[in-house]
Chains A and B, each alone.
Chain A
Amino acid sequence: MRILITGGHVIDPSQEFAGRADILIEDGRIKTFAKEKKLRNNQAQVIDAEGHWLIPGLIDMHTHLREPGFENKETIKTGTLAALRGGFTTVCAMPNTNPVNDNPGVTEFILKKARAEGHARVLPIGAVTKGQMGEELAPLYMMREAGCIAFSDDGRPVANPLIMRRALEYAKGLDALIISHAEDPVLSDGGVMNEGLLSATMGLKGSPAIAEEVMIYRDIALSELTGGRVHIAHVSTLGGVRVIRQAKERGIAVTAETCPHYFSLTQDAVCGFNTSAKVNPPLRTRRDIEAIKEGLKDGTIDIIATDHAPHGRAEKMSRQFDDAPSGISGLETALSLSLALVEEGVLTEMELIRKLTQTPARILRVDGGTLKEGMPAELAIVDPQRRSVLKAAHLKSLGQNTPFDGMEMKGAVIKTFFGEKIMEWGQE
């Protein structure tokens, strides 16, 4: 099957290209990438992308697919469909399932299930320690053999610095990446929102920004000591950005991500005990948002990930704030929210798409995130101008937990290509 996408504004950071180009897809692969010239329609189905963007399929380094174990929240099937809806063709699945992905058996189950039912590529992330308990190393080598592309105890930071040191030393030998959910569990103990006047006046236990900053500092120091590669997940604070910037200036090979909610919303979103804005790390302040944008702009923060964390409606919306689970269903809003950064002049369109494609591929050392000839046809067509009001109930994810429900979103994915699969998304 041949498909010719013509007239679109193509942005492919892997080829340093942004401009008009035609792309011919044949049998699920990119056959021809024709810059500044029109391809002839030789028996291809033609898609007119005039006025739209054509971008490589996005790569999410931080997704919770919930399967196995929490299929009421999300499944590999629904989560990968939500991914395509959001323009993502690759998602990295965090290991906090039940059972935890801390052995090759679970890794194989996830990959098998993804092959059978998944809509997009799933790259499993294994646990650093058995059961994510922070005590004994998980069999990193065997999990890597089985297909894990990185390791993380996401959601349960490795509290013991000696275990983290050993993990980094051991992972170095495997050339494996460790992703750190950087939050000192003692300083942040019991915290359910950002610490400050608002948490004090709402009577909610605050998680202080300093808990993130000191843990990032620790993990960077351990990375420097051991030579193990560390990636800092979901940076949410000014202090965190500052520590990573200083480390990079000293030449330490740390990388970092933030998520759209950390540059789109402040802690005020939890006012009225709004559990849909409960997320970990918590939403912070205007100052933190400015620092994160600054970090995205100067490259301190390498990539944008979603931390897609779907939950069931009853558990998320009908519990008291303390007891409601943390997380935002983020795959389907990430691109629109990130496009605002281009609008505001924080990033160029090339810089933004790079943080969602080429750079995550580079950090993970995987193929993808490119429109180069010969590569699988993984791309999205985006209407950057389309405005729509987000309706949580219309999300493809089983997790309809989003603080952006009812808000106007600018920019929408209208088609996603994943090999021979082409998904077309309606107005809703």
Chain B
Amino acid sequence: MNTPSSRKATPGRLAAITATLLVLLSPFLWLLQMSFKTNDQILQFPPPLIFTPTLEHYSALWHSAFSASFVNSLSSASLSTALALLLGVPAAYALSRWAGRGKHGLSFAILVTRMAPPIAFTIPFFLFYRWIDLLDTITGLVLVYTSFNLPLVIWMMQPFFDTIPVSLEEAALVDGARTRTVFTRIVLPMVTPGIAATAILCFLYAWNDFFFALILTRTNARTAPVAVVNFMNYEGWEWGKIAAGGSLVMAPVLIFSLAVRRYLVSGLTAGAVKG
């Protein structure tokens, strides 16, 4: 079969694709190489392209308060992911099987919560946390992250449940099994890949958050994204540490998103809560 000329992988085209990729990723690669340079090398002109990489910034970060904020990021992101899955997966199943009116209205309402700008939630949460003493705690962060991860779970999991034929469940029900058993023994095992992909996306959204952590934490629960920015404010302009910290914050994200790239689109069109 003849593919039209506009869709052939000619050598010229492959070269153009490679060049575009390099140009597009160059700002990202610049950050990466900077994290392996000494402070003198960073300020050197012209910048040395070949140099002996050093891990001094990474080890300095490891021995500083940054490691604690990294742990804060890990725990708040994992806990909010677990909570959102625990609540959201059964709800998504119910919505998928429920033929009643109000289903579309509910789905739309869930989508709207994801589209609202974070500042709309920050002000009420800040006032409420100040009142009940939840400012600067992991619990506080987990609750806020659930406000955007729970809608994401419901939105992402529903299509997975839709693909499972109802006749399969009906057969088990006729045999006398309870709906609860059918759900945990038959339906859940069939959507495990979907749950894994959803879990990773939830983790990434919580991990990527900067705005909520900036306002709702001070020192105890400070997350890694906020800690990176603090290298600019208080300890002078430590470019090496900033680059190394930035690289550490993006490492889990890069690994995980390669793992779920197939689901990235549906997860992101659910109205990305970034910012």
A and B from one complex: no
